[in-house]
Structure 1
Amino acid sequence: MSLKTLFPEIKPFQTELFAVDGQHRIYVEQSGNPEGAPVIFVHGGPGCGCGDWARRFLDPDFYRIICIDQRGCGRSEPFLELNNNTIQDLAEDMEKVRCHLGIEKWLVHGGSWGTTLSLYYAETYPASVCGLILRGVFLGRQEDIDWLYQGGTGQFFPEAYAKFTSLLTLEEQKNNIASYYRYLTSPDKAIRERYGKAFADFENSVITLYPKLLSDSITDEDIAMATMETHYFINSCFMSDNYILENAHKIKNIPTIIIHGRYDVDCRPIGAQLLFEQLNKAEIIYTISGHSGFEPEITHALIESQEKFKSLFYS
């Protein structure tokens, strides 16, 4: 069987900067079919932004595709603003956009950190969600954060972890996230860039099953991802430690497809399994992959999943 690939590139039919409060304006774009079934794409990171590739995971003839750059990243303004930037704020932004666009219910499609936010949003506003597509589940618990940044992932990628921690003293390595956050919020741009690039390189080194070629350039996305991730993770994602699983009963009857790489060491498969076991209308698909949504088997499963959800909008 040949694997399904991304849909062709398309352009948005509408973009806007939507004021969600007196400080933040978030970038919102719509593409695909203006009269189609509404779906919101929830990007990862935190801090990665959507990019032009996000809309290509969904059939543009069938879906009305809404992409949002979360507060402080991508094309949202102010860039890298950390004030009033919590998971509660991001979920409320999504709900404000849904109401602003006149959508009754939508399919929520999230990957990695996007699953954390999608699940928090769905548990907060279950009546707004008709279904969930979740790729690379991250539950946002302290053990998930520690696994990724405090040595667990380093057992599989020891060379990447050694490089990641080499910029820190032994004392600083007792809490890598907090230490990186101090450097990433330094007033010195050169320091922010050095540590932002090192942080992004570590993450990009561990998300694929096969080695990923890293760029030598330092991008705004590198800095945004590093800064936003450390901001969220030193604050425990602004949730109590097991919040998502403890509140999974609120979404247990929402149709859900979970896709997770069998060899995902960024977000361990056990998190996906624990979530699956809490839901009544869920399907879980394990692929021979790592974490990235661009790995061929995961991309295929995501394309298949959005096909399955089409039946919801016909019933």
Structure 2
Amino acid sequence: MQLLYPEIKPYARHDLAVIPPHVLYADESGKPDGLPVVFIHGGPGAGCDALSRRFFDPSLYRIVTFDQRGAGRSTPHASLEHNTTADLVADMEALREHLGIEQWVLFGGSWGSTLALAYAQAHPERVLGMILRGIFLCRPEEIQWFYQQGASRIFPDYWEDYLSLIPEEEHDDLVAAYHRRLTGDDEICRMHAARLWSQWEGRCATLRPSAQVLERFTESRRAYALARIECHYFINDSFLTPNQLLDNMPRIAEIPGVIVHGRYDMVCPLDNAWALHRRWPASELQIIRDAGHAASEPGIADALVRATDAMARRLLHLEPQAE
């Protein structure tokens, strides 16, 4: 297995004001004149952390990480105001311009893959390549699978906890039921709903149970932003038309890319990656046989690091590494 690169500290930090009231946190690490890559976190609402920088060779890459609106260290925390997919695409373009980057590599997983595709389709001339994990196309059937009926049949014990907050008469639309509680006036109810929502996702994210992954999902501040922003997006169809990302693939069909997807991904099933790969001639699909959804699972982490290494060699015209 290819290990993740060691932890590194940023050499620069930025607070980028966009549409009020939002101020985005971003940082840079690695090689200042290296190949630019932007890490696009999941959720929406999850934010970045020290792990986000460790998929890239710091001697080759200029690593940019940023927290999307309402997430992580961006402010205001968990804000839903002016928070749409188009807003996030515009933020990425504003960040690129702010940093003086002409073109960059996109690296994103789960919702990060969604936003990477939406950005690339809006600004294909700015994208050198893409490395995407746990493909999430935000189609209605994907939300139905994970938040209404589907994954519930694989994890009925975890599902019972997810349902525990919602009266039976509201079970016909659980996203709407959670949205009412996550945006209501009762702060205690909001926090409780956020924990249950995020716990459901964290429990299902790995093939083998992971206390570390679950702890990350349920940490109160992260869970609150994750649940509120995810639910806000999903009740609004992620501010995309039902098949928008697949329909627009001709715009970026020739951009080189690697798709990494766990065979047993219960959050974003493998057919998402399969559908994307079939519409993307320049992509390589790697199905990880012993993994679920999380980037931290060994097989997925290994494939992602190998993919970033290969992308750097390709774009920087370096000699292939000896096996």
Once residues 168 and 9 of structure 1 are traced to their aligned partners in structure 2, the CA distance between those partners, rounded to angstroms, is: 41
Once residues 291 and 203 of structure 1 are traced to their aligned partners in structure 2, the CA distance between those partners, rounded to angstroms, is: 10
Which position in structure 1 is the counterpart of 2:175?
A: 177
3-state SS in 1 of match to 2:285: strand
Which position in structure 2 is the counterpart of 1:132?
A: 130
The one of 310, 314, 323 aligned to 1:308: 310
**Larger displacement relative to structure 2 (230-239 or 213-222):** 213-222
3-state SS in 2 of match to 1:96: helix
Aligned amino acid, residue 112 of structure 1: S
The yes-or-no answer on 1:227 pairing with 2:225 is no
Which position in structure 1 is the counterpart of 2:271?
A: 270
Once residues 19 and 193 of structure 2 are traced to their aligned partners in structure 1, the CA distance between those partners, rounded to angstroms, is: 31
Once residues 79 and 209 of structure 2 are traced to their aligned partners in structure 1, the CA distance between those partners, rounded to angstroms, is: 33
CA RMSD, 1 decimal: 1.2
Once residues 307 and 212 of structure 1 are traced to their aligned partners in structure 2, the CA distance between those partners, rounded to angstroms, is: 27
The yes-or-no answer on 1:163 pairing with 2:161 is yes
The one of 2, 5, 8 aligned to 2:3: 5
Once residues 314 and 207 of structure 1 are traced to their aligned partners in structure 2, the CA distance between those partners, rounded to angstroms, is: 34
Which position in structure 2 is the counterpart of 1:73?
A: 71
Deviation at 1:217, TM superposition (A): 6.6
Deviation at 1:21, TM superposition (A): 2.1
Once residues 200 and 76 of structure 1 are traced to their aligned partners in structure 2, the CA distance between those partners, rounded to angstroms, is: 20
Once residues 96 and 137 of structure 2 are traced to their aligned partners in structure 1, the CA distance between those partners, rounded to angstroms, is: 24
Kept in 2, the 8 Å contact 1:193–1:218? The answer is: no
Kept in 2, the 8 Å contact 1:248–1:278? The answer is: yes
Once residues 205 and 13 of structure 1 are traced to their aligned partners in structure 2, the CA distance between those partners, rounded to angstroms, is: 35
Once residues 150 and 275 of structure 1 are traced to their aligned partners in structure 2, the CA distance between those partners, rounded to angstroms, is: 23
Once residues 170 and 125 of structure 1 are traced to their aligned partners in structure 2, the CA distance between those partners, rounded to angstroms, is: 45
The one of 183, 193, 196 aligned to 2:194: 196
Deviation at 1:9, TM superposition (A): 0.7
Once residues 315 and 218 of structure 2 are traced to their aligned partners in structure 1, the CA distance between those partners, rounded to angstroms, is: 44
Q: Deviations over 1:43-65 (max 9, x none)?
A: 00010001111001111111000
Which position in structure 2 is the counterpart of 1:40?
A: 38
TM-score of the pair, normalised by structure 1: 0.97
Q: Unaligned regions of 5+ residues in structure 2, if any? A: 318-323
Q: Deviations over 1:103-143 (max 9, x none)?
A: 11100000000000000000111001010000000000000
Percent sequence identity over matched residues? 42
Q: Unaligned regions of 5+ residues in structure 1, if any? A: none
Which position in structure 2 is the counterpart of 1:51?
A: 49
Deviation at 1:271, TM superposition (A): 0.6
Aligned amino acid, residue 247 of structure 2: E
Deviation at 1:312, TM superposition (A): 3.2
Kept in 2, the 8 Å contact 1:18–1:28? The answer is: yes
3-state SS in 2 of match to 1:108: strand
Which position in structure 2 is the counterpart of 1:15?
A: 13
Aligned amino acid, residue 152 of structure 2: G
Once residues 26 and 83 of structure 2 are traced to their aligned partners in structure 1, the CA distance between those partners, rounded to angstroms, is: 17
Which position in structure 1 is the counterpart of 2:83?
A: 85
Kept in 2, the 8 Å contact 1:151–1:161? The answer is: no
Kept in 2, the 8 Å contact 1:115–1:135? The answer is: yes
Which position in structure 2 is the counterpart of 1:282?
A: 283
Q: Deviations over 1:189-217 (max 9, x none)?
A: 21111111111110001010001224497
TM-score of the pair, normalised by structure 2: 0.95
Which position in structure 1 is the counterpart of 2:253?
A: 252
The one of 60, 63, 79 aligned to 1:62: 60
3-state SS in 1 of match to 2:28: strand
Once residues 67 and 291 of structure 2 are traced to their aligned partners in structure 1, the CA distance between those partners, rounded to angstroms, is: 26
Aligned amino acid, residue 205 of structure 2: I
Once residues 167 and 67 of structure 1 are traced to their aligned partners in structure 2, the CA distance between those partners, rounded to angstroms, is: 35
Aligned amino acid, residue 281 of structure 2: N
Once residues 314 and 19 of structure 2 are traced to their aligned partners in structure 1, the CA distance between those partners, rounded to angstroms, is: 34
Deviation at 1:218, TM superposition (A): 4.6
3-state SS in 2 of match to 1:26: strand
**Larger displacement relative to structure 2 (218-227 or 291-300):** 218-227
Equivalences, count: 313
3-state SS in 2 of match to 1:309: helix
